Amino acid sequence: MIRTEKLTRDYGDGRGILDLDLHVPKGKIFGYIGPNGAGKTTTIKLLCGLLRPTSGRAFVNDIEVTPANTQTIKRLVGYLPDIFGVYDQMSVWEYLDFFCAAYRIKPRDRKERIDEALRLTDAAYMLDYQVASLSRGMRQRVGLAKTLLHDPEVLILDEPAGGLDPKARIEMRNTISRLRDLGKTILLSSHILPELASVCDLVGILKHGRLVAQGTVAEITDTLREKLVLVLAVDGGTPRAVMACLNFPNVAEAIASGDEIRLVFSGTRREMADLTSYLVGKGVRVRSLREAETNLEQVFLTVTGDAAQPDAAETGE
Ligand SMILES: Nc1ncnc2c1ncn2[C@@H]1O[C@H](COP(=O)(O)OP(=O)(O)OP(=O)(O)O)[C@@H](O)[C@H]1O
Ligand SMILES: [Mg+2]
């Protein structure tokens, strides 16, 4: 339903996205995960036709995203931007009616569409609220309702859980899986790994504008499992320990965080013991060396080298 071929947007200075090949089948939720500045919003704007690629192509339902196809793409896609626009001087009803007009929905059909969209997002009670008075979580719901007004087949949601507290994130997750159950194809982005990750059928992990992993959560964790992800705990001297690890033949990556070093290891379990004695021989004070649990969060940490920050949402991005 969503497909890109070597999609590239070059902002200069090595920024942007490079050669992205994304595949999102119909009726699936695709989690587009990457740290701040990885290129998620850039990709999303390219998919919605709000930005032109430097090279490569994007398709929604086999229709190429080009200026000539803008109207068709708009009908197909409901887009939730990462920032809620300034519509403070309106009620929720006026706000949604405004977008119904923009989507050329006939006046006599609008009430039904608005009611349905607010029902799907559990926001019916907000109908007469002033937009200015809405909390962040309420705004995300109304924003999501806006994307549903013209009943699009595809939803593209940029950080739908951004700034939400844990309870609101769970509610958002439930809403999103309900929309998938209605047959929508959903691409959602996140720079953190909140509970939303668990709702995704497929995941793509983006780092510095490149897709470093794509597939089901099980596939991605399996690929890494072949490689073994190890956690080495040391008693001080972390930088030196990192260097020593990287000098060991089977260590592909070593990422330090405090007194712990996360290693991508291509050797066997027996060779783990060799690594331990090698490190001890190099004067590294090894406290422990163990296999990491490979859940999605660990995968994210390993492939991006960035700490997922579950609290970032509360502190504001
Ligand atoms: N209009 C622009 N001009 C120049 N550089 C840009 C522009 N928009 C984005 N960039 C750069 O491209 C990179 C990707 O930005 P993008 O906004 O797509 O990241 P993101 O993954 O959405 O990040 P975040 O999690 O912070 O929302 C960043 O380095 C950013 O500085
Ligand atoms: Mg963004």
Q: Are residues 280 and 240 in the same domain?
A: yes
Q: pLDDT per residue over 37-58, tens digit each?
A: 999 999 999 999 999 999 999 9
* Same domain, yes or no: 78 and 136: yes
What CATH number does the domain containing 261 carry? 3.30.70.100
Closest ligand to Cα 40: 1
CA distance 279 to 36: 34
CATH number at residue 125: 3.40.50.300
Query: Ligand 1, from 7, 22, 40, 43: best to mutate by most atoms within 8 Å of Cβ?
Result: 40
Pocket probe mutation, ligand 1, options 7, 11, 33, 82, max atoms within 8 Å of Cβ: 11
Ligand 1 pocket residues where CB is under 6 Å: 11, 15-16, 34, 36-42, 82, 191
**Residue 93: CB partners within 8 Å, gap ≥ 6?**
114, 127, 128
Task: State the pTM of this model.
Answer: 0.79
pLDDT tens, residue by residue, 202-260: 999 898 999 988 998 778 777 666 677 899 999 999 999 999 999 999 898 898 988 99
- Looking at ligand 1, which residue's alpha carbon is closest to its atom 26? 36
CA–CA distances in Å: residue 226 to residues 20, 233, 299: 25, 22, 13
C-alpha closest to that of 218 among 239, 198, 195: 198
Residue with tokens 């609008």: 110
Q: Do 149 and 251 fall within a single domain?
A: no
Q: How far is the CA of 299 from the centre of ligand 1 (A)?
A: 23
Residue 314: pLDDT above 50?
A: no
**Mean pLDDT over residues 151-175, rounded?**
90
- How confident is the model over 247-303, as pLDDT tens digits? 999 898 898 988 999 998 888 878 888 999 999 999 999 999 998 876 676 677 766
Considering the domain architecture, whether residues 189 and 43 belong to the same structural domain is answered as yes
- Of the chain, the percentage scoring pLDDT greater than 90 comes to 64
Answer for the pair 19, 6: CB distance below 8 angstroms, yes or no. Answer: yes
Same domain, 166 and 31: yes
Q: Distance (Å, rounded) from C-alpha 46 to C-alpha 3?
A: 12
**Nearest CA residue ID for atom 14, ligand 1:** 39
